Chains A and B, each alone.
Chain A
Amino acid sequence: MHVPRVVIAASLAAVCTLTACSRKAASSASVPTPAHRYTIATVGKVEGIAWFEDMKKGVQKFAADTGQEAFMQSPAQADGAQQVQIIENLIAQKVDAICVVPFSVEAVEPVLKKARDQGILVIAHEASSAQNADLIIEPFDNAAYGRHLMERLAQEMGGEGDYATFVGSLNSKSHTEWVDAGVAYQREKYPKMHDVADKIEDYEDQNKAYQKMKELLIAHPTLKGVQTSAMGTAAGAGLAVEERGLQKQVAIVGTSLASVSGQYIKSGSVRMISFWDPALAGYAMNKIAVMMLEGQKITAGTNLGLPGYESLVQSKDKPNLFFGSAWIDITKDNLDQYMQ
């Protein structure tokens, strides 16, 4: 079934190219003119979902602020092959830099190598294991973030009982890192908690998450908590818990957005969601790209002038891997300020 995806990717790429062109024409009126105008493409995991729409806003703001030719395009479906196709097209267009949020790091390695071989700067995000990137910027250290989520889940569960974990896909490096760090933290600090189902895959599909959560509630009637990873999972799992009337018994903590999971935070099935602002992440990637294209060095302590990215932390094992400290927690108490 690769044919339809290729067809969709090709038609989408065509549409994106067209809209990118028209945007170029439209936005040349009142923006500052930089010394050198670079073309920087940002590639998300999938088109249309709230997360990457917000990231697109960050990229557009960067373009408006700096006058650089910065745009974003993502695959029509969350699919590694389509993402590779888009990057191939960008290489052919000879952009100056590609900022990428890989669907699967392994899947994009060859095409990122190809880009770098042709002199294109590659900045990666949510891809701490990437080999073929000039620089990897993460909003935070994944292990620290996973422990942070687990600490909250443990508090909600009173430090004991059965819990389960979800990932969007086992290929998703960051999701597995959050979960693994969280589980390791639980084993060390909360021995009375038990991981009854590890890394259930929902394929980043809210409906799948909803169905698997219902199954989980039947398989483990004593379940007290869930740590989720993909954007829609907290909402899908939250719906399942709400339908069962188990908001008081089962706590959901995970990564999501207020616009996606807000109603389930209100109803109490989702206790806390955390996220990093995709708009800021998009802005940060583009900012780093321009700094590097201009020959500046990114080092420990570099200040990007963005909230959570004021003092970058350099990884000990990997000199081109940098972290911000940019996670944001949302609970019932502060939900209102994040709901539009």
Chain B
Amino acid sequence: MTSRVRRLFGRHEMVLLGVTVLLSIVIGALNPAFYSLQNAFDLLKTSVPLGILTIGLLVVLISGGIDISFPAIAVAGMYITCTLAIDVRSLDHLPALLAISTAIGLALGLFNAVLIHFFRLPALIVTLGTASVIRGALLEFVGTRTITNLPPSIIAFSRTNLFEATLANGASAALTVSILFFAGVAIAVALALRYTVIGRGAYAVGADLAAAERVGFNVRRIHLFVYGLMGALAGLVGIIHASIIRNANPLDLDGLELTVIAAAVIGGASITGGRGTVTGALLGVALMVIMDGSLVLVGLPSQWHQVFIGLVVLVSTSITALRTRSARAGEIAR
């Protein structure tokens, strides 16, 4: 059974890879600048916040849950941490700020988990509610103004690159250091999902909660883990986002949950739980980033941007859904 399922995902990921490569070839044919080093670095930078959040959401989806509060959590971590660091100058060290924002995210994520696990409330409703409360409270109690004079350590972080090059026209291309966080999170979560009890438990709970409970998985721990992880990663993303755009706007990241859910689902994560892989999620992120980040490049008129994005999302999710259905039909027939 497991080997069969794994083979199926292997195939889904191959299809997705094919779609992404095809899209890249089409874009590259329309504008060869797509293949430039600069563009590759830009796309990688754009993928960092989206990618980390998608990995976090993947784990939630695998466990059969959903979370739409993570953009609000990311903004809360970012804005509270930046506000704090401006008032308390001695806190202005990158590890400290990352830790504070991640801790804020973790706390909010665990709060979600408590409501979902102990009060048995639907995750969609819980996270919808906490998202509203977090955003409202942030404006009411912390502040409404965009912080443009960020703590110097965050500015320094935004200027730290793994690799820099100067191009022919005098422009520079740089690969942001924050890509390491993305890589680290992806590897750690992939290993956790495969080799740890809690990771296997997430799949089990998502596939069949009652069965997982009966065979002895600690459902409470799994719920705390998946929502806590989502929150913590959102907190981390908050600081990375601030460093990318060099400001902290308490209204930022609105609507990001849709892009992240789309990336995870395109990547093969099942919205009903039990299925999904880090590799698939990474491919989903790649597809979203390449698609969204190439519309100006190919010279598509603005009014067509939304249409195009909608079409690609529809086609990719349809392929996923159809393949899943035919696979299920195959199982039943047997």
Contacts and interface: CB of A to CB of B under 8 A. Distances in A.
Interface in A211-241: 211-212, 214-219, 221-222, 235-236, 239
A338 B173 CA distance: 33
A218 B38 contact: yes
A15 B296 contact: no
Given A47-B144, A50-B145, A8 B139 contact: no
A249 interface: yes
A263 interface: yes
Contact of B144 (A53, A246, A263): A53
Contacts of B169: 221-222, 249
Contact of B39 (A1, A7, A212, A218): A218
B326 interface: no
A305 interface: no
A interface, size bucket:
35 or more
A246 B171 contact: yes
B246 interface: yes
A243 B174 contact: yes
Interface stretch (A61-69, A199-207, A316-324): A199-207
A218 B148 contact: no
B223 interface: no
B167 to A, nearest CB: 8
Interface string A121-145: 0000000000000000000000000
A197 interface: yes
Nearest to A246: B171
A203 B36 CA distance: 27
A201 B302 contact: yes
A215 B300 CA distance: 12
Given A215-B297, A219-B296, A244-B171, A48 B132 contact: no
Of A11, A53, A211, A260, which is in contact with the most chain B CB atoms at under 10 Å from its CB?
A211
A170 interface: yes
B131 A4 contact: yes
A77 interface: yes
B94 interface: no
Contacts of A170: 302-303
Q: Is chain A's binding surface mostly helix, strand, loop or mixed?
A: helix
A55 to B, nearest CB: 13
A46 interface: yes
Interface residues of B, number: 49
Contact of B128 (A7, A50, A210, A219): A7
Contacts of B246: 239
Interface in B170-205: 170-172, 174
B247 interface: yes
Contacts of B170: 245-246, 249
A281 B11 CA distance: 60
Interface of B: 31, 33, 36, 38-39, 42, 46, 68, 128-129, 131-133, 135-136, 139-140, 144-146, 148, 166, 169-172, 174, 241, 244-247, 249-252, 254-255, 258, 293-297, 299, 301-303, 305
- Of all A-B residue pairs in the complex, the 3 with the closest CB atoms, nearest first, are A48-B144, A215-B296, A244-B171
Interface of A: 1, 3-4, 7-8, 11-12, 15, 46-50, 53, 76-77, 167, 170, 197-201, 205-207, 210-212, 214-219, 221-222, 235-236, 239, 243-246, 249, 259-260, 262-263
7 contacts: A4-B68, A76-B136, A197-B299, A212-B296, A215-B39, A245-B166, A246-B170
Given A206-B247, A207-B245, A215-B39, 11 more contacts: A4-B128, A4-B132, A7-B132, A15-B140, A48-B146, A170-B303, A198-B301, A217-B171, A218-B36, A218-B38, A249-B170
